[in-house]
Amino acid sequence: MAATLPMIAGALALGVPAAHAADTPARATLAGTKPAWATPRADQGATPDAAQVTARVYLAGRDAQGLAALAKAVSDPASASYGRYLSTRQAQSRFGATPAQVAAVKAWLAQAGLQVTGTTQHYVSVSGDVASAERAFGTQLHDFVKNGRTYRAPAKAATVPASLNGAVLTVTGLDNAPHQATAKDQLPVPSAVFRNAGPFSSYYGSRTASTLPDAYGGKVPYAVQGYTGRQLRAAYGAGAYTGKGVRVAITDAYASPTIAFDAATYAKAHGDARWKTGQLTQVLPKTYTHTTDCKAAGWYGEETLDVEAVHAVAPDAHVTYVGSASCHDDDLLDALNKVVDNHLADIVSNSWGDLESSETPDLAAAYDQTFQLGAVQGIGFYVSSGDDGDEVANSGTKQVDVPASSAWVTAVGGTSLAVGKGDRYLWETGWGTQKAALSADGTSWTDFPGTFNGGAGGGTSKTVPEPFYQRGVVPNALAQANNAAGNRVVPDIAALADPNTGFKVGQTQTFPDGSQRYSEYRIGGTSLAAPVVAAVQALAQQARGGKPIGFANPAIYARYGTRVLHDVTDNPTGTGLAVARVDYKNQYDASEGLLTSVRTLGADSSLSAVKGYDDVTGVGTPAKGYVESYKKK
């Protein structure tokens, strides 16, 4: 069962600029503030003046270009400034908005008739009627039809007074797709129980499906019951390192009410180090919103997976969970900014994302500003690349996920992992699954090898230029797939993600009788790969004497082609790879029957794991020697 849960970005999707009327005071356009779906054909006319708008005006700060330049310099091992990070106070003093800029923005908004409802070092939030918003942002708000529903959006790009001298980075919230809840919701009970049926392999290949039909010329093994921390630490070269003295943050939406109990129970059951007092902490919002449309209970498993995976691989690292008030972009940005503004950790795992087509330049700029502020302080972000391969089956369009496509994060792809007897690393393929069911008479696999059933996200961005660290490593065929000048390619690095060779987790779930009890199951997705890589980076930081690695991509690409990385390819054995899997039809017990299938490994939509860099696993996965390679010379 893939675990990555998509954030909902549509409520903040903004588009392209337009010129303001020449007979008004000089205005500056805000690029990316008119949604692409707000077309003349979809236009239903002006939004009533009295309708209410809630928006955020993000602040550009003192020196946006200088921030990007310093973020690059401190992250690049070839730079004389490498590792010379700023403190949180220094970063804010050097790049944050000045009091005068904030005052000017607030005065302009208030003069237009909007009420300032909050101010942070990142944005000014406002509310008011449509008429006031139109005065402030120099555009009309209209109603548009999108996917059969009607939403509000700017008819032309938003503008701001040129007299603000670039103080405004962007504005979000002028469009309201899909909707913005105002009620303060309570968190729901845990989701319905999910459990795996057997038979299982305890390690890859330990139990063969001898009574089931052949696949690829022979009998295949049953899927593993779920790897544990011991097996992952061995596969990715942890050695004696434990992450001691390193801080890892995890950002997701909402918060599992049983996380402390579940994490402690799981660690005890699988021989992981006991959680020490204060080793797991949570930073949570005062209230939660959008709990229904964000499916809040589903995020409990996300937090549980991330926390347990980090602890399993880096058992002495301090883990801080930072929960978002919802799965919408403004709230997720708030969670990320809490990490950066308070320097809660040096390493941040983010197991969430959305389609690149759902993000527009204004929102990308707000995320990039946060990632750059983290980079100059020595904070690195590790982001899941997605669980739907090239996204064609999911969206109809070949594309990558965000924020994994940002040039300022480490995008983490996924693999299928074979750990053999004695915790020995055997091989990995790119994670991509084809599923074929057992025939009714049990003598064959129907439509073998079956249909695409999930795989690591990857591919070439349509919007982000090729970053400096990918040049000379990423093949031109990938970098130039959408643009002759070259674009960002995802991912950068990878780890286990295939739920058929997945990780075992333990979580309190709701059983059919209404009781809530701890239960364990196998899980996967790049939601697993991201915290695993974040944990490996914690081990590497410990090996470095505790000195933060920061934004790691330049250092990761510097290791490309060396023995400290597994160069992952599809079908590494040359014989075709698959596992047999048995599932409960009702996802809980055998009372309603079983479902038996064969899962082909290494078949990720149109993406392929090949020798060298590829768009499924990036430069590869950490190998023996990877952690030690970060030791200070």
Phi, psi of 69, rounded to the nearest 5 degrees: -65, -40
Determine what percent of the chain is predicted with pLDDT higher than 90: 89
The chain-wide mean pLDDT, for the chain, equals 93
3-class DSSP assignment, residue 502: coil
Q: What is the pLDDT confidence band of residue 360, given thresholds at 50, 70 and 90?
A: confident
Q: Mean pLDDT across the stretch 560-575?
A: 96
Given a cut of 80, whether residue 178 has pLDDT beyond it is: no
- What is the per-residue pLDDT for 32? 81
What tokens does 244 get? Answer: 């001691």
Question: Measured over all CA atoms, what is the biggest interatomic distance in the chain, rounded to whole angstroms?
Answer: 81
- Go through the chain and tell me how many residues it has: 633
- Which tokens in the block code for residue 445? 């696999």
CA 533 vs. chain centroid, Å, equals: 12
> Which pairing describes strands 432-437 and 425-430: parallel, antiparallel, or unpaired?
unpaired
What's the average model confidence in pLDDT over 586-610? Answer: 97
Consecutive H or E run containing 99: helix 99-111
Q: Cα separation of 388 and 490, whole Å?
A: 13
DSSP letters spanning 531-570: HHHHHHHHHHHHHTTT----S-HHHHHHTTTSTTEE---S
Which carries the bigger pLDDT value, residue 10 or residue 309? Answer: 309
What pLDDT is stored for residue 24 in this prediction?
54
Q: How far, CA to CA in Å, does 554 sit from each of 74, 347, 373?
A: 10, 15, 17
The mean per-residue pLDDT over the stretch 443-467 comes to 97
477 φ, ψ (degrees, to nearest 5): -60, -30
| Residue whose entry in the numeric block shows the structure tokens 């392209």 | 16
Query: What are the E-state strand segments in 209-296?
Result: 247-253, 280-283
Residue 513: count other Cβ atoms within 10 Å of its Cβ. Answer: 6
Six token digits for residue 86: 């700023």
**Residue 277, Cβ density class (10 Å: 0-12 exposed, 13-18 middle, ≥19 buried):** exposed
Average pLDDT of span 250-257: 96
The two tokens of residue 298 are 């589903």
363 vs 114: CA distance, rounded Å: 22
Question: Rounded to an integer, what distance in angstroms lies between the CA atom of residue 62 and that of residue 65?
Answer: 9
* Residue 70, helix vs strand vs coil: helix
pLDDT, average across residues 310-338: 97
Q: What are φ and ψ of residue 447, in 5° steps?
A: 55, 40
Q: Report the half-sphere exposure of 630 (CA within 13 A, side-chain side).
A: 30
For the chain, list the domains and their CATH numbers: 5-61+96-172 (no CATH), 229-630 (3.40.50.200)
How far apart are the C-alpha atoms of 235 and 256, rounded to whole Å? Answer: 29
Please name the helix (run of DSSP H) or strand (run of DSSP E) that holds residue 430, with its range, or none: strand 425-430
pTM of the model: 0.92
Residue 18 has pLDDT above 70, yes or no: no
Q: What is the pLDDT of residue 21?
A: 35
Is the Cβ–Cβ distance between 626 and 562 less than 8 Å?
Answer: no
280: number of Cβ within 10 Å: 19
**pLDDT per position as a tens digit, 263-321:** 999 999 999 999 999 999 999 999 999 999 999 999 999 999 999 999 999 999 999 99
Helix (H) or strand (E) holding 415: strand 410-419
Burial of 24 (0-12, 13-18, 19+ CB in 10 A): exposed
Q: Minimal CA–CA distance to 453: which of 574, 348, 578?
A: 578
Q: Using an 8 Å Cβ cutoff, are 268 and 310 in contact?
A: no
> Would you say the C-alpha torsion 317, 323, 328, 334 has a positive or negative sign?
negative
User: Which pLDDT value is given to residue 6?
Assistant: 39
DSSP 262-322: HHHHHHHHTTPPPPPTTSEEEE--S-B--TTTTTTTHHHHHHHHHHHHHHHHSTTSEEEEE
Please give the Cα distance from 9 to 411 (Å, whole number): 19
Collapsing DSSP states into helix, strand and coil, what is residue 361?
helix
| Cα-based distances in Å from 421 to 208, 496, 622 | 14, 18, 20
Residue 302 token pair: 């996300």
Convert 564-577 to b/e letters by CB count within 10 Å (16 or more is b): bbbbbbbbbeeebb
Per-residue pLDDT averaged across 217-232, rounded? Answer: 97
pLDDT band at 368 (very low <50, low <70, confident <90, very high): very high
**pLDDT for 170 beyond 70:** yes
pLDDT tens string 112-152: 999 999 999 999 999 999 999 999 999 999 999 987 889 99
Q: 10 Å Cβ neighbour count for 214?
A: 14
- What the block records as the tokens of 154 is 């700017």
Neighbouring CB atoms inside 10 A of 187's CB total 16
* 423 phi and psi angles, rounded to 5 deg: 60, 35
User: What tokens does 470 get?
Assistant: 């990918």
**Is the pLDDT at 5 greater than 50, yes or no?**
no
> Span 425-438, mean pLDDT?
98
Residue keyed to tokens 């002495």:
316
Q: How far is CA 260 from CA 9, 278, 279, 523, in A?
A: 30, 11, 10, 19
CA distances from 630 to 212, 345, 468, 552 (A): 46, 18, 21, 11
pLDDT at 628: 97
Rounded to the nearest 10°, the torsion over CA 258, 260, 261, 263 is 110
CA pair distance 510, 516, nearest whole angstrom: 4
* C-alpha angle 264-387-536 in degrees, rounded to nearest 5: 45
Q: What is the mean pLDDT of residues 210-219?
A: 97
**Dihedral of the CA atoms 587, 589, 591, 594 (nearest 10)?**
60
Mean pLDDT, residues 496-517 taken together:
96
> What's the first-to-final CA gap in the chain, in angstroms?
42
Per residue in 31-80, pLDDT tens?
A: 888 888 899 999 999 999 999 999 999 999 999 999 999 999 999 999 99
Residue 329's H or E segment, with its range, is helix 329-342
SS3 of 226, please? Answer: coil
